[in-house]
Structure 1
Amino acid sequence: MVTPPIVLASNYLIASLPLKEREQLLAHCDAIELNFSKLLYQAGDCMAHVYFPLDGFISLVTAIDDNAKLEVGMVGNEGMLGITTLLDVDIAPFNALIQGGGSALRISTLTFRRILEHSPALQRVLKRYLYVCMKQLAQTAACTRFHLVEERLARWLLMTRDRAHSDHFHVTHVFLAYMLGVRRVGITKAAKMLQQKKLISYQRGDITVLDSIALEAIACRCYRVDKNIYASIMAEPTFRTPLPRICI
Structure 2
Amino acid sequence: MSDRAPPVFDRAQTGATVLPRLSGLHATGPTRGGPPAEHPLAPDQNHLLELLPAADLERLLGRCESVQLHLGDVLCEAGVPLPFAYFPVDGFISLLTRIEDHPSLEVGMVGREGLFGAALVLGVAVSPLQALVQGAGQAWRLPAAALVRELARSAALRQTLHRYVYVVMAQMASSAACLRFHLIGPRLARWLLMSADRAHASQFQVTHEFLACMLGVRRVGVTVAAGELQRLGLIAYHRGRVTVLDRAGLEQAACPCYARQHLAYQALLA
Which residue pairs with 1:122 in the alignment? Answer: 157
Which residue pairs with 2:15 in the alignment? Answer: none
Which residue pairs with 2:172 in the alignment? Answer: 137
* TM superposition score normalised by structure 1: 0.91
Q: Which secondary structure state, in structure 2, belongs to the residue aligned with residue 216 of structure 1?
A: helix
Is the CA contact 1:14–1:22 (under 8 Å) kept in the aligned structure 2? yes
Which residue pairs with 1:150 in the alignment? Answer: 185
**What does residue range 67-216 of structure 1 map to in structure 2 within 5 Å?**
67-216=102-251
Q: Which secondary structure state, in structure 1, belongs to the residue aligned with residue 82 of structure 2?
A: coil
**What does residue range 2-17 of structure 1 map to in structure 2 within 5 Å?**
6-7=37-38, 8=42, 10-17=45-52
Q: CA deviation at 1:68?
A: 2.1
Q: Letter of the aligned partner of 2:254 in structure 1?
A: A
Distance 1:135 1:123 in 2: 18
Is the CA contact 1:57–1:77 (under 8 Å) kept in the aligned structure 2? yes
Q: CA deviation at 1:86?
A: 0.9
Q: Which secondary structure state, in structure 1, belongs to the residue aligned with residue 112 of structure 2?
A: coil
The more displaced of 35-44 and 64-73 is 64-73
Is the CA contact 2:36–2:66 (under 8 Å) kept in the aligned structure 1? no
2:59 corresponds to 1:24: yes
1:182-232 deviations in Å (ceiling 9; x for gaps): 001101111111111111111222111000100111100000000000001
Is the CA contact 1:172–1:204 (under 8 Å) kept in the aligned structure 2? no
Structure 2 unpaired stretches of 5+: 1-34
2:69 equivalent among 14, 34, 40: 34
Distance 1:232 1:116 in 2: 22
Q: Which secondary structure state, in structure 1, belongs to the residue aligned with residue 204 of structure 2?
A: strand
Which residue pairs with 1:239 in the alignment? Answer: none
State the superposition RMSD in angstroms. Answer: 1.2
Q: CA deviation at 1:180?
A: 0.3
Which residue pairs with 2:266 in the alignment? Answer: 231
Distance 2:188 2:82 in 1: 30
* TM superposition score normalised by structure 2: 0.84
For this pair of structures, how many residues does the alignment match? Answer: 232
Distance 2:72 2:222 in 1: 20
Q: CA deviation at 1:15?
A: 0.9
Distance 1:132 1:63 in 2: 23
Is the CA contact 2:74–2:130 (under 8 Å) kept in the aligned structure 1? yes
